[in-house]
Structure 1
Amino acid sequence: MEGLKCSIVVQAGLIPGEPLEGSTRRWDFTQQDLDNPPKFIDGSGAAMNYAMHLQNPNKFNWVKLEWIWY
């Protein structure tokens, strides 16, 4: 199996730096995924939509979306 090339991690919480349990989601991509634009666009779009969904001040005080390249 190909190694990871990129991950997108979304976290949210009340206290800065302490994600609430169940709020963290991660999307991993291999080089094959990056070479297949629809798959990468769908995955990165899902991560951004999830982060936007969490931006509700009645639930969380912070939301973090990280792109991690390997």
Structure 2
Amino acid sequence: MSEINYAAMSDEALREYFLKHRDDESAFQAYLERRRSHPRQVITKVGDPDFDLKIERAIEQKLQARKHSNS
């Protein structure tokens, strides 16, 4: 069996590969490392009067981005 180059995969390709090969521990570790390497966006903070609105907007943006990437 040949070695798989996870580093050469896009984020989405690595995610899809891992979901199809859940028993591949190396793929799982590569996926986790990739996720940890991305900066995390702070959407809002507890106590923000617009907390619900900001969360809803972030969810909608994520859904739209996923919809566009799948079409």
Structures share fold, TM-score greater than 0.5: no
Which one scores higher on RCO, CA 8 angstroms, separation ≥ 6?
Answer: 1
Which has the larger Rg?
2
TM-score (norm 1): 0.36
TM-score with structure 2 length normalisation?
A: 0.36
> Could you say which structure has the higher strand fraction?
1
